[in-house]
Amino acid sequence: MTILKHRIHSLYDYRKSLSSTEFNARGKNISRCKLCLQARTWCLCPHRRQLNSEAAFAIVMYDDEVLKPSNTGRLIADLFPETYAFLWSRTEPNTELLNLFSDEQYQPILIFPEEYATEKTSVINSINREELSNKKPIFILLDGCWREAVKMFRKSRYLQNIPMLSFSPDFLANYMIRKGSRDFQLGTAEVASLALESFGETHNAIALQKWCDVFKESVLLGRNKRPAKDIKPFSEYLAQFNITHEKAILAGL
């Protein structure tokens, strides 16, 4: 079975080529798939299913973030082909990234908390399709730990002039209630699902959330540190994803 590579796979290869030493992630002794980076026994690649979307994504990654098996940014590219990925540079912004921002077919929208907005930043709490003037939104996600994401924003003036989508507390709270979580820490892919929901692509958002669930379970199974009674069959997670994926496909027809 041939697995198509996406842009984050290519960025991973490029970042590895820059390293003189091997990147040692947590669970470094696990035999991993070279594409999804999960334990080979729980490889996600055969289960990937693409979706159609009227939105695009640009993921700006901090240094070695793309090398981490725990990174969820790649999950977005797994499902949505129009996902771009770049390494962040403070001194040399990526030319292709800047060209995307000026491309007439796109409306760039940075997803980031409103509290970090500058005087130049226009802040919105939801997406109004009519105001997009037939342009496709390209959601910009800063991918790294929280400290790194803040640094990327503050050190990149070109990001501060882009409209900022900041989710309201009520919107986040409703998501957390549905998710059954008590903390407000979101992975990059979860933030992308919120952006899709705000854009009105609810079925795509749910499918991405279920793909996140499949990913998280594959990570835990690879570590194999839970009692057997606490483990739900992996097939159940895959079934839930496949159901929501089919609904998303039908909704997009």
Tens digits of per-residue pLDDT, 16-29? 999 877 766 666 77
Under the banding of pLDDT at 50, 70 and 90, the label for residue 185 is low
CA–CA distance, 189 with 193 (Å, rounded to integer) = 6
Q: Find out whether 139 and 57 touch, Cβ atoms under 8 Å.
A: yes
Give, as one character, the DSSP assignment of residue 251: H
Beta-carbon neighbour count of residue 185 at 10 Å? 8
Q: Looking at the domain assignment, is residue 52 inside a domain?
A: yes
Measured between alpha carbons, how far is 46 from 122 in angstroms, rounded to an integer?
Answer: 41
Mean of pLDDT values over 190-200: 94
Q: How far apart are CA 108 and CA 231, in angstroms?
A: 41
**Torsion sign over Cα 231, 232, 234, 237:** negative
| Residue whose token pair is 């725990």 | 70
**Size (the chain), residues:** 253
Q: Would you say residue 170 lies in a domain?
A: yes
Assigned domain for 122 exists: yes
Kindly state whether residue 195 falls inside one of the protein's structural domains: yes
Q: Would you say residue 20 lies in a domain? A: no
Compute the distance between CA of residue 125 and CA of residue 112 in angstroms, rounded to an integer: 11
pLDDT at 252: 83
Instruction: Assign 233 to helix, strand or coil.
Output: coil
Q: Are 165 and 108 in contact (CB under 8 A)?
A: no
Give the C-alpha separation, 112 to 16, whole Å.
28
> In which region does residue 98 sit, left (phi positive, over 0), alpha (psi from -120 to 50) or beta (all else)?
alpha
Please give the Cα distance from 19 to 195 (Å, whole number): 33
Q: What is the mean pLDDT of residues 124-128?
A: 89
**Contacts of residue 135, Cβ cutoff 8 Å, sequence gap at least 6:** 104, 105, 106, 107
94 falls within a domain: yes
Q: Are 78 and 207 in contact (CB under 8 A)?
A: no
pLDDT for the residue numbered 1: 52
Highest averaged pLDDT of the listed ranges 87-96, 173-182, 229-238: 87-96
CB atoms within 10 A of CB 45: 14
For 37, the domain range is 7-13+32-251
- Type of residue found at 99: N
**Cβ atoms of residues 16 and 87 within 8 Å:** no
Among 6-15, 95-104, 141-150, 167-176, which stretch is predicted with the lowest mean pLDDT? 167-176
Distance, CA of 101 to CA of 24 (rounded, Å): 34
The pLDDT assigned to 182 comes to: 46
Residue 103 lies in a domain: yes
Is residue 27 assigned to a domain?
no
Under the banding of pLDDT at 50, 70 and 90, the label for residue 175 is low
Query: What pLDDT digit, counting tens, does each position of 26-76 carry?
Result: 667 789 999 999 999 999 999 999 999 999 999 999 999 999 999 999 999
**Which residue would you say has higher pLDDT here, 204 or 229?**
204
Residue 59 β-bridge partners: 85, 141
pLDDT in tens, 81-105: 999 999 999 999 999 999 999 999 9
% pLDDT > 90, the chain: 72
171 pLDDT higher than 70: no
Q: How many domains does the chain have?
A: 1
